[in-house]
Amino acid sequence: MKNLVTAIIVCILFSTLSLTGQDIAILKYQGGGDWYANPTALPNLIKFCNNNIGTTINSKPKTVEVGSSSIFQYPFLHMTGHGNVVFSEEELENLRNYLVSGGFLHIDDNYGMKPYITREINRLFPAINLEELGAEHPIFSNSYLFPKGLPKIHEHDGLRPQAFAVFHNNRIVLLFTSESDLGDGWEDPTVHNDSAEIREKALKMGANIITYVFKS
């Protein structure tokens, strides 16, 4: 009965995406990590996308908690931070239902998040392994061309940038970007003093992710 009720709620909420589908949201989570990091990142990405790839996303992203049914109102969720992440069993079930029902979660490691979020992803999809995306995947060429795959925005450990995905029915439902720091590149230029070239590269890759979700 619980699964039936959940399925009905999912269908109703996702049926409204044609009305609310131009909103995106930041995912608020528990565990002590700074889910609120990079406050200027998404507004800047939204502005770039609306100006350059024809989207009409509302300029102010919403904030939504993992366990809330409100996540089904948003086709795109963004998650970032530097530290610990903990999902309850109820939150895992809610997020899993959201993703397999048509939702999309982009997780951008702001440095230090990887060991915690990979643990939670394994709990979220215990039977599915994260797959590294090769440079030939369409997400690297749908609006802007990245022939080498995920770009490097900030250096930390000197490791190469990697994009990992969880697929469901041949669709990416979860994208985890690591050793790249896309979100830092989306922030206001005065925050990290990145060059215009670096910021443009980050924003263009962000636009490719948005394109994959909204236009695929």
Tens of pLDDT, residue by residue over 130-181, are: 999 999 999 999 999 999 999 999 887 888 999 999 999 999 999 999 999 9
pTM of the model: 0.90
Which residues of the chain fall short of a pLDDT of 70?
A: 1-21
- Of 141, 157, 140, nearest in space to 149 by CA: 140
Show the domains of the chain with their CATH numbers: 2-215 (3.40.50.12140)
Residue type, 187: E
Block residue for tokens 């009905």: 8
List helix spans (H) across 25-161. 41-52, 89-100, 114-124
The pLDDT score that the predictor gives to residue 22 is 86
Rg of the chain's alpha carbons, rounded to an integer? Answer: 16
**HSE-CB for 166 with a 13 A CA cutoff:** 23
Let me know: does 76 contact 42? Beta carbons within 8 Å: no
Using CA atoms, how far residue 89 sits from 19, 28, 72, 94, 141, in Å, is: 30, 16, 18, 9, 36
Block residue for tokens 């989570």: 29
Using CA atoms, how far residue 149 sits from 123, 131, 146, 193, in Å, is: 27, 14, 5, 24
**HSE-CB for 122 with a 13 A CA cutoff:** 6
The pLDDT score that the predictor gives to residue 158 is 80
- Print burial letters for 14-32: b (CB count within 10 Å at least 16), e (below 16): beebeeebbbbbbbebeee
Let me know: does 174 contact 99? Beta carbons within 8 Å: yes
